[in-house]
Amino acid sequence: MAFINWGSEGPEQLAARKRIEEQMMFEQAAFNAATAAAAAAGSGGRRASSFQFVVDTIDYLEFRLEFTSTGEPIEFTINWGDGNIHQDSGIGGLYEEFHTYEEAGQYTVTVTFNKPQNVLALDFAGSDDSYANIVSITGLQSLTNLEGFRADYNSLVSVDLSGMNTLTWVDISDCDKIGSRDPSLTSVNLTGCTSLVELRLDDSDFSAGIPNLIDLSNLQNIDLDGSQISGILDVSYIPNLERCDLSGNPELTALTISREQPIGANNSTLNLNGCSLTQAAVDFVLVELSLNSIVDGFVDIDGPGNNIPSATGLAAKAVLEGRGWSVYVNSAR
């Protein structure tokens, strides 16, 4: 707990600092215990629950955390990890919490709610370089009724959302490694997220494979553009898929979909611009879409890496356009 920059210290100064730090640790532990006890009492005996995340920051960079809860009273405590603790309460709704770290470093933050079941959405606003980034997060499963999780433009590497069967939307897009533009996110555990409808993980590093989506029968919207996906990708097992953005994956050579899927419904898009689909793969996508009975959809298989369709693909393109689709493919070159 180096909360003060002591510089060069003699034996007496070291002993004094040790006594101060031990007292600070004792007082903080007592405060946390009292907070947890009060929270449990205020929640009808239900024990307070917390989650943790690690913030990486430079000097005087602001950090922002937002959450939304039901319209009921809620109490929460944020231990910012630098000796500062914020305790608050309210009638529910949207909360925006700000904190500025005075020294560069990584800080483990603990957020405790007396009624974690009332938290519906969690948002880490890492929208630009004016904010500190989170590099890891654990314990999200304590928020048993969480419906939305957003942490785009941070520096997360791996996120565990397993078992969170109330989640309906997740956005962990555009996560970069600290100090670079290289993508940081490589894995997301979505096992058991059976209510998920919208999933945005674009600009990640899924060169080793995309997250397992096998349980996600309600998923309608997938955004994986620019995520270093290669080879053949199969999403045909997602029965309610309407929109899929896989653009900007130049190593992606084929996509497996099913005519049973409602891809393109509600004016949705299948975007494969900037990929490297073979001619057979281009034909396959166009034919499967032409057989799904959806009207007014949008498909983009343009870009210099994708092959031109054969006569079979062009015939399917004509069928789609006859149903009001916008179809973009490469012409002969």
Residue 32 within a domain: yes
Residue 285 within a domain: no
Residue 301 within a domain: no
| pLDDT at residue number 186 | 98
Residue-range definition of the domain harbouring residue 17: 10-138
**What is the number of alpha carbons within 13 Å of residue 236 lying toward its C-beta?**
15
| pLDDT at residue number 57 | 87
| pLDDT at residue number 13 | 54
> What's the whole-number average pLDDT of the chain?
88
| pLDDT at residue number 187 | 98
Tokens 């040790």 found at: 18
The CATH number of the domain where 122 resides is what? 2.60.120
- Is the pTM value of this prediction over 0.95? no
Q: Please, are residues 165 and 136 in contact by the beta-carbon 8 Å criterion? A: no
Residue 310 within a domain: no
Residue 90 within a domain: yes
Residue 189 within a domain: no
**Partners of 231 in the β-ladder:** 252
- Answer whether residue 17 shows pLDDT above 60: no
- Answer whether residue 10 shows pLDDT above 70: no
β-bridge pairing 243-245 and 61-69? unpaired
Amino acid in position 129? D
In angstroms, rounded to a whole number, what is the distance separating the alpha carbons of residues 319 and 219?
Answer: 27
Of 286, 271, 278, 279, which is closest to residue 317 (Cα–Cα)?
286
| pLDDT at residue number 29 | 44
Residue 69 within a domain: yes
Q: Please, are residues 35 and 77 in contact by the beta-carbon 8 Å criterion? A: yes
How many domains does one find in the chain?
1
Residue 266 within a domain: no
